[in-house]
Structure 1
Amino acid sequence: MALRTLFLGCLLVSPAGLMAQKYPAMPSEMPSEVKIPADAADYTRRVVMIPMRDGVKLNTVILVPKGAKGAGILLTRTPYSAVALTTNSLSSHLGSSLYGYDNATDVIVDGGYIRVVQDVRGKYGSEGDYVMNRPFKGPLNPTPVDHATDTYDTIDWLVKHVPESNGRVGIIGISYDGFTSLAALVHPHPALKVAVPMNPMVDGWKGDDWFHNGAFRQQNMSYIYEQDGTRANDARWWTSTFDDYDMFMRAGSAGALGRERGLEQMGFWRKILAHPAYDSFWQEQAMDRILGAQPVTVPTLLVSSLWDAEDIYGAMAVYRAIKPKDTAGDKVFLAIGPWHHGGSIDEGSQVGNLKFGADSSYYFRQHVLGPFLARYLKDEPTAAKIAPVTAFESGANVWQELPSWPVAAPSAKLYLHAGGGAGFEAPKAGDAAFDEYVSDPAKPVPFRARPIQPVGYDHGLTWPDWLTDDQREASGRTDVAVFTTDVLTAPVTIGGEPIANLVASTSGTDSDWVVKLIDVYPDEVAGQPKMGGYQLMIAADIFRGRYRESLEKPAAIPAGKAETYRFALPTANHVFLPGHRIMVQVQSSWFPLYDRNPQTFVPSIFEAKPGDYQKATQRIFHAAGEASFIEMPVVAGR
Structure 2
Amino acid sequence: MAMRRTLGLVTALLATGIPAGAQGLPGEIPAAFRPVTERWDYERREAMVPMRDGVKLHTVILVPKGAKEAPILLTRTPYSADKLTGHAESAHLGPVLQGYDNATDVILAGGYIRVVQDVRGKYGSEGDYVMNRPFRGPLNPTAVDHATDTWDTVDWLVKHVPEGNGRVGILGISYDGFLALAALADPHPALKVAVPMNPMVDGWRGDDWFHHGAFRQQNLAYIYEQEAARAGGLGWWSTHFDDYEAFMAAGSAGAMARSHGLDALGFWRKLSAHPAYDAFWQDQAMDRLLAARPLKVPVLLVHSLYDAEDIYGAIAVWKALHPKDPAGEKVHLVLGPWCHGGGIQEGSGLGSLKFGQDTAHAFRWEMLKPFLDQYLRPGAPEADLAPVTAFETGTNRWERLPGWPRAGAGTATAATPFYLDAGLTVSPAPPRAGDAAFDEYVSDPAKPVPYRARPVMPMGYEGLRTWPQWLTDDQREASGRTDVVAYLSAPLTAPLRIAGEPEVNLVASTSGSDSDWVVKVIDVYPDEVPAQPALGGYQLMVSADIFRGRYREDPARPAALAPNVPLTYRFALPTANHVFLPGHRIMVQVQSSWFPLYDRNPQTFVPNILFAQPADYRRATQRIWHEPGKASFVALPVVP
TM-score (norm 1): 0.95
Q: Give distance in 1, aligned partners of 2:80 and 2:211.
A: 28
Secondary structure class of the residue paired with 2:638: coil
Matched, 1:501 2:505: yes
The code of the aligned residue for 2:472 comes to: T
Matched, 1:237 2:241: no
Q: Give distance in 2, aligned partners of 1:242 and 1:25.
A: 49
- Larger mean CA deviation between 233-242 and 275-284 belongs to 233-242
Q: Give distance in 1, aligned partners of 2:313 and 2:128.
A: 26
CA displacement 1:358-399 (0-9 Å, x = unmatched) = 111001111100110011111124243211111000000000
Provide closer, same or farther for how the CA distance between residues 364 and 115 of structure 1 changes in structure 2, counting only shifts above 3 A.
same
Aligned-residue offset at 1:460 = 3.3
Q: Give distance in 2, aligned partners of 1:395 and 1:409.
A: 18
* Structure 1 unaligned residues grouped into runs of 5+: 1-19
- Larger mean CA deviation between 103-112 and 491-500 belongs to 103-112
Query: Which residue of 515, 538, 541 corresponds with 2:545?
Result: 541
Provide closer, same or farther for how the CA distance between residues 530 and 327 of structure 1 changes in structure 2, counting only shifts above 3 A.
closer
Provide closer, same or farther for how the CA distance between residues 88 and 167 of structure 1 changes in structure 2, counting only shifts above 3 A.
same
The question of whether the paired residues in 1 share the 8 Å contact of 2:131 and 2:267 is answered with: yes
The question of whether the paired residues in 1 share the 8 Å contact of 2:457 and 2:464 is answered with: no
Secondary structure class of the residue paired with 2:546: strand
CA displacement 1:214-251 (0-9 Å, x = unmatched) = 00000000100110111111122101100000000011
The question of whether the paired residues in 1 share the 8 Å contact of 2:327 and 2:387 is answered with: no
Alignment of 1:416-495 (within 5 A): 416-495=420-499
The question of whether the paired residues in 2 share the 8 Å contact of 1:351 and 1:468 is answered with: yes
Alignment of 1:156-555 (within 5 A): 156-407=155-406, 408-555=412-559
Q: Give distance in 1, aligned partners of 2:391 and 2:584.
A: 20
Q: Give distance in 2, aligned partners of 1:105 and 1:263.
A: 37
- Larger mean CA deviation between 378-387 and 330-339 belongs to 378-387
CA displacement 1:192-220 (0-9 Å, x = unmatched) = 00000000000011100000000000000
Matched, 1:622 2:639: no
Aligned-residue offset at 1:262 = 1.0
Provide closer, same or farther for how the CA distance between residues 152 and 21 of structure 1 changes in structure 2, counting only shifts above 3 A.
farther
Secondary structure class of the residue paired with 1:411: strand
Secondary structure class of the residue paired with 1:110: helix
Matched, 1:89 2:88: yes
Secondary structure class of the residue paired with 1:623: coil
Aligned-residue offset at 1:439 = 0.3
Q: Give distance in 2, aligned partners of 1:383 and 1:631.
A: 39
Aligned-residue offset at 1:400 = 0.5
Secondary structure class of the residue paired with 1:88: coil
Secondary structure class of the residue paired with 1:220: helix
Alignment of 1:15-94 (within 5 A): 23=22, 28-94=27-93
Aligned-residue offset at 1:525 = 0.5
Q: Give distance in 2, aligned partners of 1:348 and 1:35.
A: 41
Q: Give distance in 1, aligned partners of 2:379 and 2:460.
A: 40
User: 1:111 is matched with which residue?
Assistant: 110
User: 2:13 is matched with which residue?
Assistant: none
Aligned-residue offset at 1:518 = 0.2
Provide closer, same or farther for how the CA distance between residues 21 and 261 of structure 1 changes in structure 2, counting only shifts above 3 A.
farther
Q: Give distance in 2, aligned partners of 1:340 and 1:620.
A: 32
The question of whether the paired residues in 2 share the 8 Å contact of 1:395 and 1:575 is answered with: yes
The code of the aligned residue for 1:152 comes to: W
The code of the aligned residue for 2:567 comes to: E
Q: Give distance in 2, aligned partners of 1:255 and 1:604.
A: 10
Provide closer, same or farther for how the CA distance between residues 45 and 281 of structure 1 changes in structure 2, counting only shifts above 3 A.
same
CA displacement 1:134-170 (0-9 Å, x = unmatched) = 1111111111111000000000000001111110000
Q: Give distance in 1, aligned partners of 2:574 and 2:47.
A: 41
The code of the aligned residue for 2:69 comes to: G
The question of whether the paired residues in 1 share the 8 Å contact of 2:102 and 2:345 is answered with: no
Provide closer, same or farther for how the CA distance between residues 242 and 587 of structure 1 changes in structure 2, counting only shifts above 3 A.
same
User: 1:136 is matched with which residue?
Assistant: 135
The question of whether the paired residues in 2 share the 8 Å contact of 1:472 and 1:534 is answered with: yes
Q: Give distance in 2, aligned partners of 1:597 and 1:511.
A: 6
Provide closer, same or farther for how the CA distance between residues 402 and 32 of structure 1 changes in structure 2, counting only shifts above 3 A.
farther
Identity %: 68
TM-score (norm 2): 0.95
Matched, 1:576 2:580: yes
How many aligned positions are there? 617
* Structure 2 unaligned residues grouped into runs of 5+: 1-18, 407-411
Q: Give distance in 2, aligned partners of 1:628 and 1:619.
A: 11
- Larger mean CA deviation between 232-241 and 116-125 belongs to 232-241
CA displacement 1:419-464 (0-9 Å, x = unmatched) = 1100111112222111110000000000000000000011231000
Q: Give distance in 1, aligned partners of 2:156 and 2:144.
A: 16
Provide closer, same or farther for how the CA distance between residues 624 and 201 of structure 1 changes in structure 2, counting only shifts above 3 A.
same
The code of the aligned residue for 1:552 comes to: A
